[in-house]
Structure 1
Amino acid sequence: MSAPERIPPRGLTAVDPLDLLTSGELTVRGQIREASNAVLFCSVAYGGQEADCVYKPVAGERPLWDFPDGTLAQREVAAYEVSEATGWGLVPPTVLRDGPFGPGMVQLWMEGDPSVSLLALVDDEEAGEGWKAVGLAQVDEDRTALLVHADDVRLRRLAVLDAVINNGDRKGGHLLPAPDGKLYAIDHGVTFNVDDKLRTLLWGWAGEPLPQEALDVLARLDASLAPGAPLATRLAELITPAEVAAVRARVGALRTSGRHPEPSGQWPAIPWPPV
């Protein structure tokens, strides 16, 4: 028997990435120990093709007092479904399935391009052209610096997506600029809370008018979130009815304001550590 053909993430293949992730044979290759929950690096093979992926078993999740319902894995998949509904493709293909350690989330592995910098710390008060200021960040005991992110349309789209899914933990390490020019975002377990939990590094557009592209996407999301509509039906399989209603309300609020959200001031707006 010939060895499976190794495929690059998001490459053109005869096997749909979702079919590969859902039906393929998972083989655990190692553990990503920096993560706070169990994250396993795996390969997945199906239909003569193979790819790398991440498997996060529900059994390895640590309970969160402010997310008492559902699982991190379900919210990761829900974030993928919303991302796909926007048409921006910001979240890698992600599925729920059984694995070697029980049910969990399986996501196609994406390699980031280390030569691309989307975040920076600068000592000057002004970020400079091409950058958006986020706020001051503590570098060490004696020094603070201005945290900035690139003024990039891909990041701006992600800022809108994060506002919709109520992302409570958008860190720099969750941003993967790919060699092909696309941007992928990972780690969406802390999302979809009914309370405002938005914490992110992408505040550079706070209060600014939303681009027309974003308004068009929000209009499509609004329609697809109507009771009985496809996205609403899919999300109801993954998160609670109250959480689905909260997604719908956030989309409506963004359309009404026509602006990027601003920090509430009720808690730290930037996650720690920021990367």
Structure 2
Amino acid sequence: MSDGSLSIRARIREASNATFLADLDGEAVVYKPIEGERPLWDFPDGTLADREVAAYLVSEAFGWDVVPPTWMGEGPFGRGMVQRWQDVDPEQDAVDLVPTEDAEAELSVDGAPRWRPVLEAIDEADRPVTLVHEDTTALRRMAVFDVVVNNADRKGGHVLAMPDGHRFGVDHGLTFHVEHKLRSVLWGWIGEPLDADELEGIDRVTDALHGDLGAALDEHLTVAEVDTLRARCAALRAVGLFPPPPGHGPAVPWPLF
């Protein structure tokens, strides 16, 4: 999106791959060079940046603004993913761990659903806790998006709560595998029907895959990965329900945040 000079501000050390906060034409961006990607046993080497860009392209086809603007660019450490930085609201949590004894009271406010429970666990202090996430349109859309792109790494920390109430999803390097890889903390709507807005979003992606989106994805994914993406859209549209975990392999990423 810019041919300007990208300069490094700091390294983001919490990330598992080389990730930097950088400046591009006076704007803060995240920069993940391909050379800094750690090899994985189940994803081809050097493909994570392209998968992040592909996730943004699919997000744009949905029309829901799930993924911040993301593109391939050049930086001090070579070619990589560049994504517009987002300043989150530190007072908001879209995904949280709450004491299990308090969870039931937290799940609704004045009878309206507030949180959806996902699983119960024991924290580092041996206290029972419940993993919950918001019951909101923004999070439902993100969950649908994750099914379509086959997101293997939807951690709680990959959901950014913005001051205006919007929610962005980030860190989409582990997506678009041809095998079922969905691992997520957003399992709160299992078996519930997709609403009209969500079905229309899937239809927009399906239509776009036969046009500009399909052509754009060919630059970042394999033919088999794009074909499997089409198949996932068709299957989700036909069933019309939020799917359950497949029953093999972990259903959530680790760590959860």
Q: 1:250 aligns with which of 232, 244, 257?
A: 232
Q: Residue 218 of structure 2 corresponds to which residue in structure 1?
A: 236
Which of 16, 21, 31 does residue 36 from structure 1 map onto?
16
Instruction: Write the deviation string for residues 101-124 of structure 1: whole angstroms up to 9, x where unpaired.
Output: 111000010011011121232313
Give 2:29's aligned residue.
53
**How many residues were matched structurally?**
249
- Aligned mates of 1:70, 1:211 — CA distance in 2: 37
Query: Which of the residues 110, 113, 116 maps onto 2:86?
Result: 110
Give the structure 1 partner of residue 64 of structure 2.
88
Q: Cα distance, 1:90 vs. partner?
A: 1.1
SS of 1:140's partner is: coil
- Which position in structure 1 is the counterpart of 2:38? 62
Q: Deviation digits for residues 158-199 of structure 1, max 9, x if unmatched?
A: 000000000001011111111122211110000000011000
Aligned residue among 237, 260, 267 for 2:242: 260
8 Å CA contact 2:94, 2:160 repeated in 1? no
Partner of 1:123: 100
State the match for 1:98 in structure 2: 74
- What is the aligned partner in structure 2 of residue 177 from structure 1? 161
Q: Displacement, 1:69? A: 6.0
Task: Indicate if the aligned counterparts of 2:39 and 2:45 stay in contact, CA closer than 8 A.
Answer: no
2:35 is matched by which residue type in structure 1? Answer: A
Q: Deviations over 1:111-150 (max 9, x none)?
A: 1101112123231363521111111133137333221111
Superposition deviation, residue 273 in structure 1: 1.1
Instruction: Report the residue type matching 1:115 in the other structure.
Output: E
SS at match of 1:251: helix
Q: Secondary structure at the match of 1:160?
A: helix
Identify unmatched segments of 5+ residues in structure 1.
Answer: 1-17
Q: Which blocks of at least 5 consecutive residues in structure 2 are unaligned?
A: 109-113
Q: Indicate conservation of the 8 Å contact 1:70/1:239, yes or no.
A: no
Counterpart for residue 10 of structure 1: none
Contact 1:122 1:148 (8 Å CA) reproduced: no
Structure 2: how far apart are the matches of 1:72 and 1:41?
18
Contact 1:70/1:238, CA 8 A, preserved across alignment: no
| 1:58–1:102 Cα contact (<8 Å) kept | yes
Q: Secondary structure at the match of 2:65?
A: coil
Secondary structure at 1:222 match in 2? helix
Q: CA separation in 1, counterparts of 2:249 and 2:115?
A: 25
Do the aligned partners of 2:99 and 2:127 also contact (CA within 8 Å) in 1?
no
**Paired residues of 2:116 and 2:188 also in contact (CA < 8 A):** yes
Give the distance between the partners of 1:175 and 1:119, measured in 2 at CA: 8
Q: Is the 8 A contact 1:25 1:44 kept in 2?
A: yes
Letter in 1 for 2:14: E
Pairwise CA RMSD: 1.4
Q: TM (normalized to structure 2)?
A: 0.93
* Alpha-carbon distance in structure 2 between the residues aligned to 1:239 and 1:83: 15
Provide the C-alpha distance between the structure 2 equivalents of 1:98 and 1:112, rounded to a whole number of angstroms. 26
Question: What is the match of residue 274 of structure 1?
Answer: 256
